[in-house]
Amino acid sequence: QPLGILVAETNRLALKAVSKVKVEYSGVTKPHTDMQDIINFKDRSRVKVYISANSARADTSDVTHVVKGSFCSGMQYHFTLETQQCICIPVEDGFDVFPSTQYPALTEIAISQFIKIVSHTCMSRIININVRRLGGGFGVKLIRSAQVASACAIAAHHVNGPVRFLMSLETNMEAIGMRCGARIDYEKLQIDEAVEIDIYEDAGISWNEKYATGTLSGFKNCYESSDWKINVLGVRTDIPTTTWCRGPGSTEGIAGIEHIMEHIAKTVNKDPTQVRLLNMNKNMSSIPQLITDLKINADYNIRKESIDNFNKNNRWVKKGISLVPMAFEVVPFDRYYAMVSIYGPDGSVAIVHGGIECGQGINTKVAQTAAHVLGCSLELVSVKSTNNLITPNNQMTGASITSEASCYSVNECCKELLKRMAPVKKSMKNPSWSELVQKSVEDSINLNTSHMYPYGDVQTKNYYSYGIAITEIELDVLTGRNQICRVDILEDAGKSENPEIDIGQVEGGFIMGLGLWRQEQIIYDPYTGRNLTNRTWNYTPPVSKDIPIDFRIELRKDSPNPFGFTRAKSSTTYQISGWDWESSGTECGPLRRAQRAGGVYMESNTGPNGPNTSFLHIRKRTLNKENKVAFMGNQRDFRVENRENEQRA
């Protein structure tokens, strides 16, 4: 928990001063760091209902199967290359602020309120926000960056000089907050009947940030949900307040319903894909065709038969394969600004827009849009830093909509500029772009304009992005070591503005999901509440050895989006949501199938399920009673003689 701010001449001095601070606590009680304990002990004072969706209950008089269980997902640190930081410089008209933020407007408001507390005179107009780019965002720089920038501004105000505020990785992981953990309790009736769901989300110490809408939408995924009863609840624990993280809510929701679909398939002994198609929402007719196309392109049926034969002929190495569909609802926001200026005599173009470049390629797409509409060379177009003078009150960069909205605003600016230059062009004989611009300057044509992307525009409505993934995994039953042999993904990106960027986003989202579902695990000390996994020695995001050996991504062709700008669809946030879940080994995913093929049973998923976790489960629950199996750990040999020795082992 942050207690104060120390200002020093150098970073080294500041860190040394921090080490000298002694803090005494009184009335200390054991903290609540585990959401599961609060749920199990039914402490209602720490549980709050976010949203409920109660639909008509189907007739259950002839029910023959009831599927009941739980699904848990863990927390995840955003692991941006650039940690939280800010530079604040007092100037004659206020403060020049250079924050690492996805939401400059919120940062501006927060700083003005903080400075007002200490000086009693501060307005937003004296806060000059400038953001060039971020070293990664993933949602952690939406709200939390405002806190860091405000602390930096207060320090600059008191010392009346420039201050740089830079947080270490350890401090980020301990104080800033992460993706919320979740638990889903479910009871599903029949193969395609009603479902009752309670979704618990770890809110941390406060209920300030809620993801219930995304969770509800994600849980419905691509399935018919008219007879589902869903409650989304927040659980208050004593850890830092959890915050937005790539695919907030929808990640846990989609993974949860896919876990249930696999559980149903196992219970009724049907093919999981068949169960999914039986429950499919009839309004999402694209998904069955996507499934068919990817099955053919990925040789799914041939590989499945080959894997069955492989498992019959190999005792200690097993394989599994799984197919998972996904639908992600994209909801447009309003207030995305852009300003375009054209310069003579060379015809160069400068753009300022309200979106923040976080590595998602927004500046490239914006520049391409301007070059395409104006008809000039892309080399003439440059994108400047975002600032709150040109883009006041701009919405956040997030939720997969910012690139599309910023491109729309730039498109409208360029069309207006062409309209102004049209009479000049008409008076000339086939002019080049630079000649047209220079003549327009000489005729005093205003070559600067701005536009704000409005909510509810006729071209912008809610829509769904679809995708299908097939994952193949190999498992060593003796050690728990497993690897992703091959991944095939087919995404409906509409008419992509830039296929290379969109495929890169799919790759990045998938790899981030691998970390969430397979290896990244947050552990808090149950007695002190301290984060014990606050650095890369004990928190391990995916690296080069963890990615799929064979990684194939394809964008669906000839599928323009009727509601999106340039007929494209978003491809930024949702790839983490459900596809990676199937690699985690939950219930009937490929890893779980491989484990069962090797005679190993694992209870419902309770966190990352990579090689280490698989090894521990195998050691604990070996079903082979007759054979003596030696399991080699990092520092000890675990030997299981028979079932009676399992607990002792």
pLDDT band at 173 (very low <50, low <70, confident <90, very high): very high
Q: Could you tell me which of 477, 387, 366, 291 has the C-alpha nearest to residue 98?
A: 387
Q: From the centroid of its chain, how far is CA 421?
A: 43
pLDDT above 60: residue 645: no
Model confidence pLDDT, tens digit, residues 380-413: 999 999 999 999 999 999 988 899 899 999 999 9
With CA atoms as reference, report the closest residue to 484 among 578, 539, 537, 552. Answer: 552
Q: Phi first, then psi: give them for residue 48, nearest 5 degrees.
A: -135, 130
**DSSP single-letter state for residue 59:** P
When pLDDT is averaged across residues 273-288 and rounded to a whole number, the result is 93
Q: Which of 469, 510, 465 is nearest to 492 (CA)?
A: 465
More confident residue, 220 or 333: 220
Question: Residue 644 pLDDT > 60, yes or no?
Answer: no
User: What percentage of the chain exceeds 70 in pLDDT?
Assistant: 84
Mean pLDDT of 526-546: 93
Q: Which of 147-151, 460-464, 510-514 has the largest mean confidence? A: 147-151
Query: Which of the four pLDDT bands, split at 50, 70 and 90, describes residue 606?
Result: low
Query: 194-208, 412-426, 594-608, 634-648: which range is least confident on average?
Result: 634-648
CA-closest candidate to residue 386, choices 148, 105, 152, 109: 105
**Per-residue confidence (pLDDT) for residue 642, from 0 to 100:** 40
pTM of the model: 0.90
- Could you tell me the pLDDT band of residue 633, with boundaries at 50, 70 and 90? very low
DSSP state of 394: P
Q: Which of 246, 107, 84 is nearest to 180 (CA)?
A: 246
pLDDT at residue 316, rounded to an integer: 87
Going by pLDDT thresholds of 50, 70 and 90, the confidence category of residue 589 is low
Q: pLDDT band for 641, please (50, 70, 90 cuts).
A: very low
Q: What is the pLDDT of residue 603?
A: 47
At residue 623, the pLDDT reads 47
- Which domains, and CATH codes, for the chain? 31-77+177-255 (3.30.365.10), 85-175 (3.30.365.10), 284-331+462-596 (3.30.365.10), 336-453 (3.30.365.10)
Residues 128-156 pLDDT 10s: 999 999 999 999 999 999 999 999 999 99
pLDDT of 406 reads 95
Convert the pLDDT of each residue in 324-365 to its tens digit: 999 998 888 889 999 999 999 999 999 999 999 999 999 999
pLDDT in tens, 100-111: 999 999 999 999
